[in-house]
Structure 1
Amino acid sequence: MALLVLVGCGTQQQEAAGVRDGSSAGTAADGAFTAMLDEVARPCPAPGPVEKPPGDAAAPAPTAGPEVELNAHDWCASARHEERITREVWELADPTPAKVRKVLNDLGYIDERIHGLRRSGAATTFALDLRDKGGRLCVNGSVDGDKTLVEACVAPRKGPFSFAK
């Protein structure tokens, strides 16, 4: 019996740390996180294939990065995540990792999706794994009390999350 309990816990942890695939397994925190992702992306186009982003036809098109690798749904959602996170962490006078984690948790981002939260000089840096419904969205952030930078990045399509620098 104890072996079954341990095996079950490991499976839930792996699913929580992985990409949501539409299965019904998960915890209440996972459900709240999924609901937050859906709410943030509600006004965005449905997930689908990557298309060329709108822009100036005369300007050189990027060949890599979020503009090329994110689908329209993730590209739209990235702007909404960036704006809501920036607005909340902007006010932190001394943005320690604990304070930044609290803000992110209060916004609905769960610990399993917060990566690399650490102090680097005066700044606290972090990455969020926002992969959902086959997307590749992640967000990198840096907060130092004077400047806040939160920007989209591209995560691996499947498997463990790795930092996009």
Structure 2
Amino acid sequence: MTRGPASTSASTRTGRVLVAVSLAALALSGCGSDEPNGGGSRGGPPGNASSKTSTAPSAEQAAFAAMLDKVARPCPPTDGVPSEPADRNPSGPTGKRPTGPADERSVPPGETPPTDPVEPGTPTGPETELNARDWCANVQHEQRIVQALQAVPEPTPAKVRKTLNGLGYIDERIHGLEQDGKATRFRLDLRESGGRLCEAGRAAGEETDVTVCAAPATGEFTVTGSGSSR
């Protein structure tokens, strides 16, 4: 009978241990319940993936960029840094200034050649605003656009848009598409890598004409200078 108190004391200690273990288990399960459901603040990876997706170019924009790169492949690279316009370098492959001496200019019969040096006029228009790559790419774009639009009978705005889309020019880069009598006028935003190239065109069958223009390097598309590339 003297073992009764010892058995009671051991049983009490065992009960206390079980209670402590149960409380610890409840505490651990309670910590897990603090995790937010669904897209909570701890969902870092999904949120980051979403933001990256929203800033990535669409397939259409990627195809447009690839087209611009392909068209300008024969042209000098700029790596985003504008170079000297082609017309400022008379010896360059795309320079348009005469290379002969000033005294070899043709003079009408019976007239005396001028003795004073003739000062060249100050360049104006897109040639003063476009870099060498843009000026070269302009020629490539002009040729392919004119060739395609000359084959379009009754060039309505819808037909012109479809033709330009077929060449790789996406809708967000086509501006000012409007009917002008039997012709259709349009402008193309061809800016890339800090360039300022744009084209202004008039689709009119065999009389189709496309001229080079310049736009701000960044920001909203507006034409700041225009002229003829021919």
Using the size of structure 1 for normalisation, the TM-score is: 0.80
Structure 2 counterpart SS, 1:140: strand
Structure 2 letter corresponding to 1:44: C
Residue 41 in 1 paired to residue 72 in 2?
Answer: yes
Q: How many residues matched? A: 147
Cα-to-partner distance string for 1:2-60 (whole Å, 9 max, x where unaligned):
xxxxxx9xxx6xxxxxxxxxxx7210000000000000000100123233143226583
Structure 2 residue 58 is the aligned partner of structure 1 residue 27: yes
| Cα distance, 1:64 vs structure 2 | 2.0
Q: In the alignment, what sits opposite 2:211? A: 151
Task: State the Cα distance separating 1:110 from its structure 2 match.
Answer: 0.3
Give CA deviations for 1:80-128 in whole Å, capped at 9, x if unaligned.
0000000000011100000000010000000000000110112100000
Match of residue 50 from structure 1: 84
Amino acid at match of 1:50: E
Q: 2:64 touches 2:169 (CA, 8 Å); kept in 1?
A: yes
* Cα distance in structure 1, aligned partners of 2:121 and 2:73: 28
Partner of 1:135: 195
How has the CA–CA distance of structure 1 residues 97 and 151 changed in structure 2, closer, same or farther, with 3 Å as cutoff? same
Q: Is the 8 A contact 1:50 1:69 kept in 2?
A: no
Counterpart amino acid of residue 78 in structure 1: N
Query: Contact (CA 8 Å) 1:53, 1:68: kept in 2 or not?
Result: no
Q: Find the counterpart in structure 2 of residue 17 from structure 1.
A: none
Q: 1:71 to 1:156 in 2, by over 3 A?
A: same
Contact 2:197–2:213 (Cα < 8 Å) also in 1:
yes
Q: What's the CA shift for 1:156? A: 1.1
Question: Cα distance, 1:62 vs. partner?
Answer: 4.6
Partners of 2:146 and 2:122 in 1: CA distance: 25
Aligned residues with identical type, % of pairs: 52
Higher-strand-fraction structure: 1
Larger Rg over CA atoms:
2
1:84-95 matches, within 5 Å, as 84-95=144-155
Residue 220 of structure 2 is matched in structure 1 by 160
CA shift in 2, pair 1:107/1:63, >3 Å: same
Moved over 4 A (4+): none
Gaps of 5+ in 2: 1-38, 40-49, 91-96, 103-118
Partner of 1:81: 141
